[in-house]
Structure 1
Amino acid sequence: MRSFKKFTLMALATITLAGSLTSCATVFGGRVTDYQKRKPMPGEAQRQVRTGALIADILLFWPGTIVDFATGAIYKPQRGVTAQKAQSATTATPQK
């Protein structure tokens, strides 16, 4: 009986630790794009932080906030720019 209590306590501690080390934006934010991963170059606009994910990280997963910033999942993905760049690259004609 004592062994079962010890096992249960260890299992609960492991689940609690694993849950606290995950982060909201990493788990629920979807795929992380290249825009989110790389730091902006000098002169580029700063990346915007997902406010809801940041608040959820602080309230629910406070150690996991580090994971979100390290992976870039906390930043909002940039939509439409990659499609515009790809389209302009294919329509551009080389100059002779």
Structure 2
Amino acid sequence: MKKLVKSVSIGLLIVSMSSCATIFGGPVSEYQRTKPADGEPQREVRVGALIADIILFWPGAIVDFATGAIYKPEGK
């Protein structure tokens, strides 16, 4: 029983420390990874994922920005 509780606790800790957009946002495109050059429009941020990162575990936002997952995919 103690192993189950410990395993569940570790699993919940890992999930709570993860970033929302990286896990639930789908695959990250090249558009999301690449920083726009001078004169190009800025990438839009996924507001829902940013709010979830701030509320649940704010360092997750750092991971989302570092991977580019926080940005919306390129519009068609």
TM-score per shorter chain, which class? 0.7 to 0.9
> Which of structures 1 and 2 has the larger relative contact order (alpha carbons within 8 angstroms, sep 6+)?
2
| Counterpart amino acid of residue 43 in structure 2 | R
Say which SS state the counterpart of residue 71 (structure 2) adopts: coil
Counterpart pick for 1:45 among 13, 19, 41: 41
* Count of residue pairs the alignment pairs up: 75
Identity of aligned residues (%): 60
- Bigger shift: residues 16-25 or 29-38: 16-25
Structure 2 segments unaligned to the other structure (5+ residues): none
Aligned: 1:55 with 2:48: no
- Report the aligned-residue RMSD: 1.6
| Aligned match of 1:23 | 19
Larger helix fraction of residues:
1
Determine which structure has more spread, i.e. the larger CA radius of gyration.
1
In structure 1, list runs of 5 or more residues that go unmatched: 81-96
Q: Give the AA of the match of 2:42.
A: Q
- How much does 1:65 deviate? 1.1
TM-score computed with the length of structure 1 as normaliser: 0.67
